[in-house]
Amino acid sequence: MPSRRRALGAAAAGLFGALSWPGGRTAQAAAAPPVRLDQLSLVSLSHVNDPAKTNVFPGDPAFTLETIATIPKDGYFLQYVREGEHTGTHWGAPGHFNKGEPLADQMDPGDLFLPAVKIDVRAKVRGHDDYAVTVDDIKEWERQHGRIPNNSMVILWTGWESRWGTPAFPNLDANGVIHQPGFAIPTVRWLIDTGRIGRTGGTGIDTFSPDVGIEETFTVSKLVYQRHRISLEILANLAKLPATGAWILAGGPINRNGAGSTATIFGLIPR
């Protein structure tokens, strides 16, 4: 992945060059214009996990918080957390859907630090809960913003985050079927085949999944979750993320053989 490593090296040089010791800086870092970290805007793209509000994917374990130590009694405060690895805002590893693909502890740090584009599809989704974003929708966005760089995190802003904490978020019908927008299957194939999400990019969305809710085969997820691609799901605060120019950093506990992780996902935005 030479181009990927060069991109990450350039990003690191730009972001952290100003903090390097003068005697230890490489020629590449010295040549890159230093960017002060206090000149970056930082936005959290994660919901707060709250048992009173957190919508859990049907069939996943319930999310609970139990206080097991208090300052008056024990001298410190501590909670016991019970949740699935994909509770609330989270990132998923390729092995979540594909046997033999990398799991959380087999991913590289650079796999969780990606250039991001945000595609606003709120108008198309309004009144069409099962809307599947098309290749033409992506091309329409590119005519305004330019081609999506290779190996990007392609994020759909559907507006679904405003439903968080209510039954309108899972949006189940009488038969228990989820109704949420997502990527059409041909769209994800095109993003992969053209290199836009390449080998190390991914998809992001403010719903449960990149799949349209009524698509119960999870074909989109199976396609996205290959190679070293990741999926960011149940994102928040997408109004604060620009259409282009930002990077995302996905953090969270790395479990042995993890399917991904509940996550604090940050958008890093140059001012």
pLDDT for residue 72 is more than 50: yes
Q: What integer is the mean pLDDT of 35-61? A: 90
Which CATH code fits 28-55+85-270? 3.50.30.50
Rounded to an integer, what distance in angstroms lies between the CA atom of residue 232 and that of residue 92? 7
Q: What integer is the mean pLDDT of 25-35? A: 51
Q: What is the pLDDT of residue 37?
A: 75
Element (H, E) at 74: helix 71-74
By the 8 A CB rule, do 251 and 265 touch? yes
Q: What is the pLDDT of residue 20?
A: 32
Q: What is the pLDDT of residue 21?
A: 30
pLDDT for residue 215 is more than 50: yes
Query: What is the per-residue pLDDT across 120-155, written as a single tens digit (0 to 9) for each?
Result: 999 999 999 999 999 999 999 999 999 999 999 999
List, in order, residues 6 or more apart from 110 with CB less than 8 Å away: 4, 5, 8, 200
Task: Write down the pTM of the prediction.
Answer: 0.85
**How many helices, marked H, and strands, marked E, lie in the chain?**
7, 13
- Parallel/antiparallel/unpaired status of strands 230-233 and 260-262: unpaired
Query: What is the per-residue pLDDT across 156-178, written as a single tens digit (0 to 9) for each?
Result: 999 999 999 999 999 999 999 99
By the 8 A CB rule, do 182 and 213 touch? yes
Confidence category of residue 216, pLDDT binned at 50, 70, 90 = confident
Q: What integer is the mean pLDDT of 251-270? A: 91
pLDDT for residue 103 is more than 90: yes
Q: What is the pLDDT of residue 106?
A: 92
